[in-house]
Amino acid sequence: MPLCRFDLEILKNHNPALLVGVDEAGRGPLAGPVTACAAWVPVSAHPLISPLVNDSKKLSPLKRQRALKLMAESGVRFGFGFAHPQEIDRVNILEATFNAMGAAVGRLLFYLNAAPAGALLLVDGPYPVKRVAGCAQLPVIDGDAKSLSIAAASIFAKVVRDRWLEVLELRHPGYGFAGHKGYGTAAHLAALSRLGPCAQHRMTFAPVRKLLTGAGHE
């Protein structure tokens, strides 16, 4: 089913003033922030962006860049939020993701000068966002493969996070952040073992925690 059809059905059945897709990127990596995006896709943009927009995991980096450019030119609007590694360690990754999503929704609504009461959030995954007050929410499992709005948010979140990891590669050379984007690849684990963790690592995640406690060298 075309992704825009899912959104059009939601608009028909719920008639919200504003339909917003919400997704994140970077829950699983050992390093870097978790990023979130809230995306509003005007109906007029559906036929323009549908050929290119899909679940970000199904698109190459180049196709994500092209899709993001087309969305911006077609009137799609985004709000962005993030939670840095220290926040993730302090509150856990799920709560940090909710914080990032809440910030993304708040920024989008502020930009659009829209009231929360008129918005319906389509949230990727099984849980509503805790940090949003006044918005109706509809969790959608595998939403980035079903909803055009969620897919748009997934692309933005992924592109922004990847760009930031390229910056972190320059600030923390030797870990290969630009290549593996913080995920626990063999190359990343080898660099982590050789160099130890840096400020961008999530100290509570098992491979990093084992290294810090010495278990990784037993």
pLDDT in tens, 20-50: 999 999 999 999 999 999 999 999 999 999 9
The total of other beta-carbon atoms located within 10 Å of residue 106's CB is 18
**What pLDDT does 1 receive?**
55
**Domain housing 150:** 3-212
Residue 138 forms part of a structural domain: yes
Residue 192 forms part of a structural domain: yes
Residue 160 forms part of a structural domain: yes
User: Residue 212: which pLDDT band, with cuts at 50, 70 and 90?
Assistant: confident
* CA 129 – CA 97 distance, rounded (Å): 9
**What pLDDT does 149 receive?**
98
> Span 63-72, mean pLDDT?
97
Indicate the SS3 state at residue 184: coil
Residue 99 forms part of a structural domain: yes
Q: How many domains does the chain have?
A: 1
Backbone angles phi, psi at 212, to 5 degrees: -65, -35
With vertex at residue 150, the alpha carbon angle to CA 178 and CA 78, rounded to the nearest 5 degrees, is 70
* CA 172 – CA 49 distance, rounded (Å): 36
* CA 212 – CA 175 distance, rounded (Å): 16
Residue 217 forms part of a structural domain: no
Residue 201 forms part of a structural domain: yes
> Span 165-176, mean pLDDT?
97
User: Residue 215: which pLDDT band, with cuts at 50, 70 and 90?
Assistant: low
Residue 58 forms part of a structural domain: yes
Antiparallel, parallel or unpaired: β 119-124 and 136-140: parallel
Q: For all residues of the chain together, what is the average pLDDT? A: 95
Percentage of the chain modeled with pLDDT above 70 = 98
Q: What is the CATH number of the domain that holds 18?
A: 3.30.420.10
Residue 74 forms part of a structural domain: yes
E strand segments, 52-135: 77-83, 119-124
